[in-house]
A and B are shown apart, each in its own frame.
Chain A
Amino acid sequence: MAKIRVVHYINQFFAQIGGEEKADHKPEAREGFVGPGMAFNAAFGDKAEIVATVICGDSYFNENLETATKEVLSMISSYKPDLVIAGPAFNAGRYGMACGTVAAAVKEQLGIPAVTGMYIENPGADGFKTKVHIIATKNSAAGMKDAVAAMVPFALKLVSGEKIGSSAEEGYIPNGIRVNFFEEKRGSERAVDMLLKKLKGEPYVTEFPMPDFDRVPPNKAIKDITKAKIALVTSGGIVPKGNPDHIESSSASKYGKYDINGITDLTEATYETAHGGYDPVYANLDADRVLPVDVLREYETQGKIGSLHRYFYTTVGNGTSVANSKAYALAIGKELVADGVDAVILTST
């Protein structure tokens, strides 16, 4: 089997061209490995080989981001690599940004597997961890040996198309994609160990860092509710009997839109819930308990509200991902606005 062709991207410093005074060094390509490429090449053994090294000064790259990316990319692609390695950049900020930009561009624009390495606090890590795999390294070049040892097998795995495991197994900086894997110890034991560390004030790593939540500010109040067109939207899973669109009982992959023109009451014979996350008995007996069509019809007749919108929208909130919920809400919201709906009663369970 032919060796995997690797192009290595490094900065002027690691190419031993110079430090800050040479940071405006323009992109150049050299055959074979340069500087830290030697260690990579040795670690690749007979599986892969660095065919070329592309070098660029950190200042030049960051100050001419667009043109520099283009130049570097065209040099890289001219060697027809199967794999691109950038850095590692350790804690060097501008180098990290350059490595992130190059690796991400190689992956996205050339469709070639790419990997880089950085210290977790490198600004490049935050900027690119969701775009390309960044192996976590120490904060200085003293960590080169460990970085090579981690990056090489991971890079080979990427090229082979093998399934990439979780960040904890593979050593990349968590990229927001949660991946399942089997730990050595069961969860309860990990919890007790973590608590003992926390009690002693020793460092520990949480398995799930708390996310930042979206907060949606409420809209302004309706001025005259007796003129308002009101729509019903629910995550309580109320559907016409028989669940015609097969909305899932959990982790819904869709939402439904149903005509309630002329319907004044939801009955056991006509509506039910598809939701698998709560006791369905009472909702199935009278679906108005979740989707109050009956009361709104009364209000409509009495002139307490303007009108009830002709359609209701429904999905199952149970186990449904935030990303899916957001997408449904955007689509539903668009239609409601187009239909001139003034207000929405959103019921959950």
Chain B
Amino acid sequence: MKLEIGQIFIRDIQFDAVSRIENNILYVNTQELKALLLEDEHLASVDFEIAKPGEKTRIIPVKDVIEPRVKVEGGGGIFPGVLAKVEAVGSGRTNVLKGAAVVTTGRIVGFQEGIIDMSGPGADYTPFSKLNNLVLICETVDGLKQHAHEKVVRFAGLKTAAYLGRLAKELVADEVKTYETPSVKEGMLKYPDLPRVAYVLMLQSQGLLHDTYVYGVDMKQSLTTMLYPTELMDGAIISGNCVSACDKNTTYHHLNNPVVEDLFAKHGTELNFVGVIITNENVYLADKERSSDWTAKLVELLGVDGVVISQEGFGNPDTDLIMNCKKIEAKGVKTVIITDEYAGRDGASQSLADADASADAVVTGGNANMVIELPPMERIIGHKEAADVIAGGFDGSLKEDGSIVAELQVITGATNELGFNKLSAR
């Protein structure tokens, strides 16, 4: 399967009477977009703000971040089974608005939305401070329970990303990258001497507000299965969760999965990247056992030499991570796991909720309990009082002057367990 990613570099976003992309500037007609989004009867209001790198701007509470993309050639559409009809994606040509993102905020859904600071110390910890963000402030009608609330905001974000993506359908890309995965047989013949590597991608599926969707399927109801890596780039996987902001994988992360990117970078020269095994992180022990058995079985069936395993969330999913690692190592296949740590504010506590001697190659995204101070910002998009209740915040996190003292947990994407960032700990 082969996919070309056409990158259109977006250097600015502006509101305008006509939505379009011109000279690498994204112009948005908010009236048109608003009308489209308010078709959802559960959405009471939606407002738009633009947040640019370097501004003294804070977005809080952030639910999801999404990169606008559009299918130019090849089967299916972006976000198949969710916005586009169910059809396999991952081949042909996809255009991407590189450097732009849609960020959703509004009244808090659960406890676990995060913060994006566009400048200052907090900006160093989130990749989204480097993007031009179109922020959607979504307020739902009264009386909506959290599940429905989450869904409304999720869809508003996806629809906006698809709307913006469509503006790039006819454009000539500034840069084109090509990704190709041969079949298992072709790959073995083509690269007989290279180690064969698969990627085990663990998806958050602990329950409502902690869900991930694959081609529209709720991942907690799925058995472990396989994808071509390029399917991720077309939105086969979307985030529907409100797990702690620092280590939840937003839809943006799924579209730009860094393990996929870095395995492709060495594909054909140092290794043979065979494919992606996706598995869930359910809460019941029987599910955990079944899913990790299945992961190890698929790894064995593919006959790979090594796997990278990435995690989402912490605590409960630590057990899934260790089960996957232990069972795959027991098959004689080498593993590296990517996780993050909850070592306490002083860094002196045990970092993970589970451990096993076979997990002897670990990459960490840092200690999420570390306390940081975020200075006041000139502009707040969203609801600043969320700082006291989001995961990582505490009573009194929000100071009178608007500064926030909280754990690193509060920052969207800070300790990402796909290895998106350079942050680590020792």
CB neighbours of A206 from chain B (8 A): 360-362
Contact B365 A187 (CB under 8 A): yes
Given A246-B395, A319-B314, A323-B344, A211:B351 Cβ within 8 A: yes
Contact A196 B392 (CB under 8 A): no
Question: When chains A and B are docked, how far (Å) is the Cα of A275 from the Cα of B350?
Answer: 21
CB neighbours of B351 from chain A (8 A): 178, 208, 211
B residues 304-342 with Cβ under 8 Å of A? Answer: 305-308, 310, 314-316, 334-336, 338-339, 341-342
**A204 at interface, CB cutoff 8 A:** yes
Given A180-B370, A189-B262, A195:B344 Cβ within 8 A: no
A residues 229-288 with Cβ under 8 Å of B? Answer: 246, 248-251, 253, 275-281
Nearest neighbor of B367 in chain A, beta-carbon distance = A178
Smallest Cβ distance from B179 to chain A, in angstroms?
A: 15
Smallest Cβ distance from B272 to chain A, in angstroms?
A: 11
Contact A191 B338 (CB under 8 A): yes
Question: When chains A and B are docked, how far (Å) is the Cα of A195 from the Cα of B363?
Answer: 10
**Please, what's the 1-or-0 string for B119-147, where 1 marks a CB less than 8 Å from any CB in chain A?**
00000100000000000000000000111
Question: When chains A and B are docked, how far (Å) is the Cα of A194 from the Cα of B310?
Answer: 14
Question: When chains A and B are docked, how far (Å) is the Cα of A180 from the Cα of B363?
Answer: 13
Smallest Cβ distance from B426 to chain A, in angstroms?
A: 4
Nearest neighbor of A192 in chain B, beta-carbon distance = B262
Question: When chains A and B are docked, how far (Å) is the Cα of A7 from the Cα of B195?
Answer: 54
CB neighbours of B364 from chain A (8 A): 187, 207-208
Question: When chains A and B are docked, how far (Å) is the Cα of A190 from the Cα of B258?
Answer: 11
Contact B315 A277 (CB under 8 A): yes
The stretch of B93-101, B170-178, B201-209 in contact with A is B201-209
Contact B359 A189 (CB under 8 A): no
Question: When chains A and B are docked, how far (Å) is the Cα of A253 from the Cα of B392?
Answer: 11
The stretch of A147-155, A166-174, A289-297 in contact with B is A166-174
The stretch of B1-9, B74-82, B156-164, B412-420 in contact with A is B412-420
**Please, what's the 1-or-0 string for B240-273, where 1 marks a CB less than 8 Å from any CB in chain A?**
0001100000000000001101110110001100
**Please, what's the 1-or-0 string for B389-426, where 1 marks a CB less than 8 Å from any CB in chain A?**
11111110000000000011100000011111111111
**B355 at interface, CB cutoff 8 A:** yes
Given A210-B357, A276-B244, A195:B197 Cβ within 8 A: yes
**B210 at interface, CB cutoff 8 A:** yes
Smallest Cβ distance from A273 to chain B, in angstroms?
A: 10
**Please, what's the 1-or-0 string for A196-220, where 1 marks a CB less than 8 Å from any CB in chain B?**
1011000010111111010000000
CB neighbours of B308 from chain A (8 A): 188, 191-192, 195
Contact A204 B363 (CB under 8 A): no
Contact B315 A318 (CB under 8 A): yes
Contact B407 A182 (CB under 8 A): no
A residues 310-324 with Cβ under 8 Å of B? Answer: 317-324
CB neighbours of B306 from chain A (8 A): 195, 198-199
**B382 at interface, CB cutoff 8 A:** no
Given A188-B258, A199-B306, A250-B391, A207:B424 Cβ within 8 A: yes
Given A207-B424, A279-B207, A250:B392 Cβ within 8 A: yes
Smallest Cβ distance from B72 to chain A, in angstroms?
A: 27
Question: When chains A and B are docked, how far (Å) is the Cα of A191 from the Cα of B338?
Answer: 7
B residues 64-112 with Cβ under 8 Å of A? Answer: 110-112
Contact B208 A251 (CB under 8 A): no
CB neighbours of A321 from chain B (8 A): 342-345, 349-350, 369
**A223 at interface, CB cutoff 8 A:** no
Contact B424 A181 (CB under 8 A): yes
Contact A180 B423 (CB under 8 A): yes
Nearest neighbor of A168 in chain B, beta-carbon distance = B426
Question: When chains A and B are docked, how far (Å) is the Cα of A95 from the Cα of B275?
Answer: 53
Contact A210 B356 (CB under 8 A): yes
Question: When chains A and B are docked, how far (Å) is the Cα of A150 from the Cα of B344?
Answer: 29
Smallest Cβ distance from B79 to chain A, in angstroms?
A: 23
Question: When chains A and B are docked, how far (Å) is the Cα of A190 from the Cα of B364?
Answer: 10
CB neighbours of B265 from chain A (8 A): 189, 192
**B167 at interface, CB cutoff 8 A:** no
CB neighbours of B197 from chain A (8 A): 195, 199
CB neighbours of B195 from chain A (8 A): 196, 199
**B366 at interface, CB cutoff 8 A:** yes
Which one of B263, B315, B425 lies within 8 Å of A317 (CB-CB)? B315
CB neighbours of B407 from chain A (8 A): 250-251, 319
Given A177-B346, A178-B367, A208-B362, A192:B244 Cβ within 8 A: no
Given A166-B425, A177-B346, A323-B349, A210:B359 Cβ within 8 A: yes
Nearest neighbor of A182 in chain B, beta-carbon distance = B422
**A330 at interface, CB cutoff 8 A:** no
CB neighbours of A189 from chain B (8 A): 258, 262, 265, 419
Nearest neighbor of A198 in chain B, beta-carbon distance = B334
Which one of B111, B208, B316, B336 lies within 8 Å of A281 (CB-CB)? B208
CB neighbours of A190 from chain B (8 A): 363, 419, 424
Question: When chains A and B are docked, how far (Å) is the Cα of A184 from the Cα of B424?
Answer: 10
Contact A198 B421 (CB under 8 A): no
Nearest neighbor of B243 in chain A, beta-carbon distance = A277
**A183 at interface, CB cutoff 8 A:** yes
**A186 at interface, CB cutoff 8 A:** yes
Question: When chains A and B are docked, how far (Å) is the Cα of A257 from the Cα of B8?
Answer: 57
Contact B425 A179 (CB under 8 A): yes
Given A278-B207, A319-B391, A198:B336 Cβ within 8 A: yes
**B35 at interface, CB cutoff 8 A:** no
Question: When chains A and B are docked, how far (Å) is the Cα of A199 from the Cα of B305?
Answer: 7
Contact A178 B425 (CB under 8 A): yes
CB neighbours of B307 from chain A (8 A): 195
Given A198-B334, A250-B244, A322:B350 Cβ within 8 A: yes
CB neighbours of A275 from chain B (8 A): 111
Contact B262 A279 (CB under 8 A): no
Nearest neighbor of A214 in chain B, beta-carbon distance = B350
Smallest Cβ distance from B51 to chain A, in angstroms?
A: 23
**B381 at interface, CB cutoff 8 A:** no
Question: When chains A and B are docked, how far (Å) is the Cα of A208 from the Cα of B341?
Answer: 9
**A176 at interface, CB cutoff 8 A:** yes
**A163 at interface, CB cutoff 8 A:** no
- Contacts A187-B365, A251-B345, A318-B244 known; 10 new A-B pairs at CB < 8 A: A176-B348, A188-B310, A190-B419, A191-B419, A192-B263, A192-B336, A207-B426, A251-B369, A275-B111, A323-B349
Which 6 pairs from chain A and chain B are nearest by CB?
Answer: A187-B419, A276-B111, A188-B419, A321-B344, A250-B391, A188-B258
- 11 A–B contacts, CB within 8 A, in A order: A168-B424, A174-B426, A181-B425, A185-B422, A188-B259, A191-B338, A191-B363, A195-B307, A251-B407, A319-B392, A323-B348
